[in-house]
Amino acid sequence: MKLNIVPARAGFAWARAGVRTFWRQPLALAGLFFMFISLVSVASLIPYVGSVVALVLLPAATLGLMAATREADQGRFPMPSILITAFRAGRPQARSMLLLGAFYAAGFLGVLGASAMIDGGAFARMYLVGGELTPELLQSSEFQNAMWVAMALYVPFSMMFWHAPALVHWHGITPGKSVFFSFVACKRNLGAFALYLLSWLGLFLGVAMVVMVVTVALGQPGLMNILMFPTAMLLAAMFFSSMWFTFRDSFVTDEEAPSQAPDDEPAANP
C-alpha cells in the first residue's frame, strides 16, 4: 500500500464525483443512507449502552456506504446487503472492524469527556442522550466553550478514522495501524481535504439559500421548514457518497500503478 499526494483541486473533484455518482443510483444510495441512519438510531435506543453501541457500529456502517458508492461508480446497483459488507468478509475482518469501532467509541467518548471538564457534562449529555436546548443553555459561556473544545478535538480525531474502515477492509491493515495511516493521509492531503469540506459547505449553504428564496417567492415561507429536512438528508447522502473517492485517490496497493486523481489529474507519490 502506498500513499498518494493529490493536488488541492482534487478536493473539489471528490465532492463533484460524490454528487455525480449519487445521481447515477439515487434511489439505491438514498435508501442505503436512510438505512444507515436507521441502524445507528435503533442501536442508540438500547437501554444504558445504546449510544456506545451506535458509536461502535459507525465505522462498519460508514464502510457499507463507501462500498455502495464503489458499486455505483462501477455501474452496478448496490443491494441493501452491502451495508453490512464489513461483517461479510470473514470473522477476522469482522473482529478487526468491531475493534476499530471500539477504538472509535472510546476516542469519541474521550472527546466528550474533555468537554465535560469545562461545563460539567452539559454538552456531552445533550449529544449522548438529548434534551432541550434552552436559550439560557446556548448562551452559557461554559456550554459554548465546551462545544468549541469538542469541535477542536474532533478534527484530528476524525482524521484518524476517516480512512481507517476502508484500510481495514480493503487493505487488511490492523485497526491500530489504520488509524495512524488515516491521520497521515489526511495530513499530507490537507489542502485537498480543506477544499473538499469547503465545497460541501458551499453546496449546503447554496441549496439552503435556493430553498429559502423559492419558498419566499411562492409566498409560503413556512414551507422552508418542511423542505429543509429532506433536502438536508439528500445532501448528507451525497456527502457520504463522496467519501469513497477521498479514499480511492489517497491510497493504492503496491501492485497498482499510481492512481489518478479525479478528472484524470495525476497524483504524486510521496
Among 94, 127, 91, CA closest to 109: 127
Q: What pLDDT is stored for residue 260 in this prediction? A: 45
**pLDDT value, residue 131:** 67
Q: pLDDT per position in the chain (270 positions), as tens?
A: 789 999 999 999 999 999 999 999 999 999 999 999 998 888 888 877 888 999 999 999 999 999 999 999 999 999 999 999 999 888 898 999 999 999 999 999 999 999 999 988 888 888 777 766 777 777 888 888 989 999 999 999 999 999 999 999 999 999 999 999 999 999 999 999 999 999 999 999 999 999 888 888 888 777 887 888 889 999 999 999 999 999 999 998 765 544 444 444 434 433
Question: Which pTM does this prediction carry?
Answer: 0.86
Question: Taking each helix axis from N to C terminus, what angle separates 26-44 and 50-73, rounded to the nearest 10 degrees?
Answer: 170
Can you read off the three cell numbers belonging to residue 147?
462545544
- Segment (H or E) for 3: strand 2-3
Rounded Cα gap, residues 70 and 77, in angstroms:
10
DSSP labels, 23-50? TTSHHHHHHHHHHHHHHHHHHHTSTTTH
Shortest CA distance to 14 belongs to which of 191, 171, 184?
191
Residue that is written with C-alpha cell 447554496 in the block: 206
59 by DSSP, 3-state: which?
helix
Name 172's bridge partners. none
Contact between residue 14 and residue 63 where contact means Cβ atoms under 8 Å apart: no
Rounded CA-CA distance 91/89 in Å is: 7
Which range of residues forms the domain containing residue 239? Answer: 2-266
Q: What is the CA radius of gyration of the chain?
A: 19
Cα dihedral across residues 53, 90, 179, 162: positive or negative: negative
Q: What is the pLDDT of residue 258?
A: 44
The identity of residue 217, as a single letter, is A
Alpha-carbon gap, residue 247 to 163, rounded angstroms: 6
Residues 6+ apart with CB under 8 A from 234: 30
What is the tally of structural domains in the chain? 1
Residue type, 149: V
Quote the DSSP letter at residue 5: B
DSSP letter, residue 251: E
Dihedral of the CA atoms 37, 38, 41, 47 (nearest 10)? Answer: -160
Using alpha carbons, select from 231, 267, 223, 227 the residue that is nearest to residue 248. 267
3-state secondary structure of 265: strand
Among 256, 262, 264, 266, smallest CA distance to 242 is for: 262
Angle subtended by helix axes 122-129 and 141-161, to nearest 10 = 60
Residue holding cell 493536488? 7
